[in-house]
Amino acid sequence: MSRVPSLSSPFLLGFDEIERALDRVVKGADGYPPYNIERCGRDDGQPERLRITLAVAGFTRDQLDVTTEENQLVIRGRQQDDKTRQYIHRGIAARHFQRTFVLADGMYVIGADLKNGLLSIDLARPEPERVVKTIAINEHE
């Protein structure tokens, strides 16, 4: 079954890459770990900032990776089972995760911080440069 593209308007030209990015995001959204996205206050002359906060209780800094790959922010967590423990009940699973966010052109990561089981990643979203270009019209007789 083929999917009807959501960006199929004849006025939206060259948005194939966005369509593929939307498909990747939908496929990778399993709900773990939970996260928040918030808009942070803008300082004078600074670009708009966003903060992504993930609940990563039980993960150490060494078990987390934050990378940018092309136009994607990728957060990975890797935990190992402790084979020396004997659990009577195990409600907290040691599990791997990968959470991916597609970044708009020009967005970049400012930094990341792990505190009290929350991983916060700050992003900057600079104002795009407004470019107006006049196109010459050739006349043929």
**CATH code of the domain in which 64 resides:** 2.60.40.790
pLDDT of 99 above 60: yes
What residue numbers bound the domain in which 53 lies? Answer: 30-82+91-123
Q: Total domain count for the chain?
A: 1
Q: Note whether residue 7 is domain-resident.
A: no
Q: What's the CA gap between 19 and 78, in Å, rounded? A: 30
Q: Note whether residue 139 is domain-resident.
A: no
Q: Note whether residue 8 is domain-resident.
A: no
If DSSP codes are grouped into helix, strand and coil, which group holds residue 76?
strand
pLDDT of 75 above 90: yes
Q: Note whether residue 25 is domain-resident.
A: no
- Which range is least confidently modeled, 26-30, 61-65, 83-87, 104-108? 26-30
Q: Note whether residue 19 is domain-resident.
A: no
Give the DSSP letter string of 4-53: PPTT--TT--S-HHHHHHHHHHHHT----S-EEEEEEPPPTTPPEEEEEE
Q: Note whether residue 102 is domain-resident.
A: yes
pLDDT of 131 above 80: yes
Q: What's the CA gap between 24 and 18, in Å, rounded? A: 10
Straight-line distance from the first to the last Cα atom of the chain, in angstroms, rounded to the nearest whole number: 49
Whether the full predicted model's pTM is greater than 0.75, yes or no, is no
**Residue 56 — pLDDT band, cuts 50, 70, 90?**
very high
Q: Note whether residue 70 is domain-resident.
A: yes
Q: Note whether residue 118 is domain-resident.
A: yes
Q: What's the CA gap between 70 and 68, in Å, rounded? A: 6
Q: What's the CA gap between 100 and 27, in Å, rounded? A: 10
